A and B are shown apart, each in its own frame.
Chain A
Amino acid sequence: MSLTAQILFLLLFAVSSLLSLVFLVRQIGFSLVAMSRPQASPFSRAPITEWPSVTVLVPAHNEERVIAGCLEHLLALDYPADKLTILVVNDRSSDGTAAIVDDFAARSGGRIRPLHRPASAQPGKPAAVADALRLVSSELLVFFDADYLPQPPLLKKLVAPFVDPQVGATMGRVVPYNTQTNLLTRLLDLERRGGYTIDQAARGMWNLLPQFGGTVGGIRMSALAAVGGWSAETLAEDTDLTYRLFIGGWGVEYVDDAMCYEESPENWEVRFRQVRRWACGHNQCLFKYFGAVVSTPRQTPLRRLDAALVLLFFLFPPLSLLSLAAALAYPTLYSYPPFNFAVVSALSFVIGFGNFAPYFQIAAAAMRDRQVAALAMLPLIFLSSAISMVAATQGLFFALRGLWFNAHLSWDKTARFRSRHVGA
């Protein structure tokens, strides 16, 4: 084995260990700071009396199982009726979605506006949103997915942070309602808790960059126009917008008490495809914006550093898998190495990703939610993490294929499982 190969091994171990360590420190720091602060957003405490005009946008592709429940909840939102428009985009649906939307629109007194996209239209949620934006004339745009069940106070909580002229987008907390269905949904509930009430919340508390998630979130239309409008070029249009806002000097405000219920995937195949799509789109954004993120003069160095780390997030799983494989191969190739760096690498991986950081974060989240009993399934979280690592690795390859060979990347819709609203 040549010296070059040895150096490559060591480099891989060093990079992997360093990232694991950074991730570990960051996540534990986030957990501690989030636990020390109240969950309610300060913006939710401002008694605002006059509200801006808002368009609530609901893209729907074959959503007959869930759309009625969502529209019922949207019509019950606590918001001045003359300032609120609900725009439902029936995106090439071949099921009963169009009929349900039209029925609700007819009975809503003009509050619901349907937009039917023909079968020949460009597929995918980003393209559907791009079409819908031509009909939007309000100051703000708020997104909900068709399976979401927003509670009445939610909209005002998402809109209130726009008193801050730097806020370009807001993001609420997504909470799965079907947590008890099976092992996967229980694990996803734990992941969601850690991701939102610790990671996103702490980023907000430290004035870093919470991520706009494309749903349960609002956008200032003037900010959207200032950063070049809506982009349908990547599979993660929400991440794309988050980083364009960041580069332009805008911010995203995370509102932890703006909770909305969603349906989480109930089988592993759907979950795999979902993570793969996220990873692919996120890495597309990495290729597009990494240089601009680290060099933008419109953000502080700490914000740039953390935003760059988040942008690198979906590069970690493939790197970790590669590092693990190398850690297995290294002792085989070097029977009696002077020092077994593979052990260091494997240990750092276990500490950073496999054990303490996510476990600590999820435990902190459950404590913050005052639901420690929810942690019963925490010892099994490695199962969903392992599946996500493989899916994210495949997503990276998809993104690279798109980058190098200009290959077409198609939108992969997440399947729905609910049935109680069919025909409502």
Chain B
Amino acid sequence: MSALSVFLPTALLVGLVALHAFYYWLHRHSASQHQVELPAAPDRALEARPAKGAFLALDPTTEGAPRRLEGEYAVVRKGRTPFAASAPAGAARPAVTAAPRFAWASIKLANRDLTNPLVCGDDLRLLGDCAFDGAVKVAGDLTINGRAVFREPVTVNGYVHVTGEAVFEQGLLTKSDAVVSGNLVIGSRSAAAWVVARKLRIEGGLALHGSVSTAHGVELEAA
């Protein structure tokens, strides 16, 4: 074993350590990590917007901070039957106490009333008249072809498609987009409700009694 074969690796190691130590010495006083910058509350800037009656300024789908629109408004697409406001609802309750019913595959429900909370592990499609007294979670897409009334909050990981009529008495939260070509009722005159979505596209009718918060804006198709 030559002297070089011992000296060279040792010198390389010492050099590496010295380089890192020097780097630390250079930056040891830099105060760059004092704290994480707390992000502004997502809706704060938008709460200053006009409230009642100011809903649905057309909003391009640009990237940026979540937007929120509050109001009491109804938009009815020409040619569609106007719909009645939903029944009075109670205030939102974020925790579910009753044991949920779990379904681990895509399901299709028609003309069903469910009293327990429902957790659907994949897509949920609703036909006919359906009513849900408990909270609902849909891990896939929620498609409403008939008429559905949700008396507790609804959470959807995927897309929400409404071609029939959907009444959300407390709230709807979707992590993707909601596309409404039928009728969408949010809250009632006696109790406000909310919609949180990445983007909300209204091609049909909307009755809003509460607020809408989106990350990518609201699109309204001209009647």
Chain A residues with a Cβ under 8 A of chain B: 38-40, 42-52, 139-140, 153, 159-166, 175, 177, 179-180, 183, 186, 189-190, 193, 207, 220, 222, 226, 249, 257, 259, 261, 297-300, 369-371, 373-377, 379-380
Which of B39, B94, B139 has the largest number of chain A CB atoms within 10 A? Answer: B94
**Contact between B117 and A165 (Cβ–Cβ < 8 Å)?**
yes
Interface status of B99 (Cβ within 8 A of chain A): yes
Chain B residues with a Cβ under 8 A of chain A: 20, 23-24, 27-28, 30-39, 41-43, 65-66, 68, 90-97, 99-100, 102, 104, 117-119, 121, 134-137, 139, 153, 155, 157, 171, 173, 175, 192, 194, 196, 198, 210-211, 213, 215
Inter-chain residue pair count (beta carbon < 8 A): 155
Determine the residue in chain A with the shortest Cβ distance to B64.
A38
**Contact between B121 and A259 (Cβ–Cβ < 8 Å)?**
no
A226–B102 alpha-carbon span in the complex (Å): 13
Report if A52-B32 is in contact (Cβ < 8 Å); known contacts: A42-B173, A164-B155: no
**Contact between A163 and B136 (Cβ–Cβ < 8 Å)?**
no
Pick from B95, B137, B211: contact of A52, CB under 8 Å: B95
**Contact between A166 and B100 (Cβ–Cβ < 8 Å)?**
yes
Report if A163-B94 is in contact (Cβ < 8 Å); known contacts: A38-B215, A45-B213, A379-B23: yes
Q: Which residues of A contact B37 (CB under 8 A)?
A: 369-371
A161–B96 alpha-carbon span in the complex (Å): 11
Minimum distance in angstroms from B165 CB to a CB of chain A: 22
A164–B20 alpha-carbon span in the complex (Å): 48
A44–B40 alpha-carbon span in the complex (Å): 12
**Contact between A376 and B92 (Cβ–Cβ < 8 Å)?**
no
**Contact between B97 and A298 (Cβ–Cβ < 8 Å)?**
no
**Contact between A38 and B97 (Cβ–Cβ < 8 Å)?**
no
**Contact between B135 and A163 (Cβ–Cβ < 8 Å)?**
yes
Sample 6 A-B pairs with CB under 8 A, ordered by A number: A40-B42, A40-B66, A46-B196, A47-B211, A51-B94, A163-B155
Binding site secondary structure of chain B: loop
A377–B194 alpha-carbon span in the complex (Å): 44
Pick from B104, B137, B192: contact of A164, CB under 8 Å: B137
Minimum distance in angstroms from B122 CB to a CB of chain A: 8
**Contact between B153 and A163 (Cβ–Cβ < 8 Å)?**
yes
Q: Which residues of A contact B215 (CB under 8 A)?
A: 38, 42
Pick from A189, A261, A298, A375: contact of B121, CB under 8 Å: A298
Determine the residue in chain B with the shortest Cβ distance to A248.
B102
A338–B99 alpha-carbon span in the complex (Å): 62
**Contact between A377 and B27 (Cβ–Cβ < 8 Å)?**
yes
A280–B165 alpha-carbon span in the complex (Å): 53
Minimum distance in angstroms from A218 CB to a CB of chain B: 10
**Contact between B117 and A49 (Cβ–Cβ < 8 Å)?**
no
Would you list the 5 A-B pairs with minimal beta carbon distance, nearest first? A52-B95, A373-B32, A165-B117, A40-B42, A164-B155
Minimum distance in angstroms from A80 CB to a CB of chain B: 12
Pick from B39, B41, B91, B119: contact of A50, CB under 8 Å: B91
Q: Which residues of A contact B196 (CB under 8 A)?
A: 42-43, 45-46
Report if A179-B33 is in contact (Cβ < 8 Å); known contacts: A49-B91, A165-B100, A298-B104: yes
Minimum distance in angstroms from A200 CB to a CB of chain B: 14
**Contact between B94 and A166 (Cβ–Cβ < 8 Å)?**
no
Pick from A166, A226, A259, A379: contact of B38, CB under 8 Å: A259
**Contact between B65 and A38 (Cβ–Cβ < 8 Å)?**
yes
Report if A300-B121 is in contact (Cβ < 8 Å); known contacts: A45-B66, A46-B196: yes
Report if A175-B100 is in contact (Cβ < 8 Å); known contacts: A52-B95, A380-B24: no
Which of A165, A190, A257, A375 has the largest number of chain B CB atoms within 10 A? Answer: A165
Report if A43-B173 is in contact (Cβ < 8 Å); known contacts: A165-B96, A165-B118, A380-B20: yes
